[in-house]
Structure 1
Amino acid sequence: MPHFLAIVLFFCGISLAQSSLFGGGASLLSGEQSIPSRSATVLQPAYSEVQVDSSYVLGPGDFLDIMLENKYLTVQIYPDGSVAIEECGAVVVGGKTVAEARQLILDLVGKRYKREYCFVQLSSLKRFRVTIMGAVNQIGQHTVEAQTRLSYFIRQVGGTLTNANTEDILVLRGKDTIHVDYHKLSVEGDFSADVMLEQGDRIYVPFNDVGEVVTLIFPHIRTTVPYKQGRSLQDYYNLSGVERTQNYGYKAICIKDPGKDPRWAPLADMANVYPEKNAEVEFHLNQRFVYVGGAISRMGQFDYNPSWHALDYIAAAGMNTMTGSWDQVRVWRGNQPKAITVKVAEDPILPGDYIEIPKSRYESFKDFTLFLASLLSVVSAAFVIYTSLNNDN
């Protein structure tokens, strides 16, 4: 019996301690029920999950945490912009900032509870759907949270396609149309164009016009950028979005303007190269070579340099006194090489060209006379042998 009484007193002590700690001093012996830490309307955590600035406007779908002395409620703003607080009534907070809504709610609950023991905070932001169509990876309706900006949303839907015109993205908001230069935003950091999305927004990312474009060809991708007069190759490269992908270490660039011979440019000179309408620009990974032979000190292959001319390659190969005049230099070009005459200090040299440096006329004449002397020596020797054999017979 004493053990049973001791056990009963032990559990009574635990119950009294819990009632004193969580029930705001209420006693189980008085017949009052302990108040739960949060009401049955709790749907979201009791704190805002993202940073919210002071200008944020409340609307349907937002959740508010309300502390009423020793009661904790989480309420949702209804479609009409109002919130209902048990035992106090309803108040319209839609279209108000958090500070303004807090003041309205405290004025309402202050009639029943002590105002100094009441508090209101934003619990969870509203979510809504926006529609995006056009040149993006995931078209259709998507759920976003309030304070979501356009740049973040485009990343959420997988980004734009390679043939997207990112210079004029349309945000249709009611009867208004907002034009956003997404390229200027993402590359140049013009954050003033990064609009905050609102409920009902419709976004359209247009495709490039296939009629007037510049095509950029990379080993791993092919993309087009709208042609614009005065736009440099560096601008087209930036607009393509390829600068965000892995750099594969491009070695040479070939510009193919319509109806013209290909021309080459170094990577460092892209800002000074202006492709024509419907041009194709190829970025090459493999190292290109130019071959040099003839009357030079070192024959063989040399790394292709788009800024070099024949004179540079001849100088790198090592000219000597046997080299002929510049107007005799020839270049062999093409899959079935044909010799062409070039201006050694002006005409471009292409990858795969073979530069032939001839000997001077004097050296060629000297070689010819040495050949004739050798030939005469052989003929005279043969004649002497022939004569000797006839005399022996």
Structure 2
Amino acid sequence: FPNVSEMSLSGLTLVEGKAMMIKGIKRKYHERFDLSLMVAVPKQITIYVTGQVDGPGLRTVYDSTRISHVLKSVGVAKGGSDLSESVYLKRQTENGSFDEYKLKLHDIFLANDAKQNMALQNGDIIAVPSIKSYVYIYGEVSRGGTFGYVPGQTLSDYINVAGGPTARANLDSVTVTRQEDGRPKVYHINASQILHRGETEKDLEIIPGDVISVPGNFFYFSDFASFANTVLLALTLYTAVAGR
């Protein structure tokens, strides 16, 4: 295709580069054609990763590697991570200054947003701030709510942190809801065996984002008297009406 001008494919994947070349060729030629595009030796670039990551420092990756690949390799966005947070990418411009991009983890990993999941260039700096992680517990505990994630803590630890179960708690039917591969998975746990019988091997280690639910018993003794009085009153009224 001698009449097609030079094309820059920097920052594009093979699929994106092929699509761009086909579009450019079709501007000059209307005949049918087949185009194959491959890279014999991918160019390597050096980037720097800093912040709350596993093993910060210099890393060598292939040119145009997406930021999601690097973030996964340094421990960001593990199962249960809070994907509402953001990371930052700094890129040097031709005049020596730096452009900074704020990139949302949700858009990078779940929304498949190519503008957020940027292709990396040589010299890029990825900064990962401290990502807040939480555990949520509600239901029949003394102080339900949001608690900071502490590595290594288990279900029983968080129930105790929340003030322990109330008298009406049904510990046989505790659930832990966890995001796995983008979908919620529910673990059904008999916490009574853990808290009252000491069967610690059945305790579940909690990860960031877990939601712990402690249900209540349908009947509880203090409520039973009220329930019985209500039934007795209803029967009395029914008897009185039926006897007329």
TM-score (norm 2): 0.44
Higher RCO (CA 8 Å, separation ≥ 6 residues): 2
TM-score (norm 1): 0.30
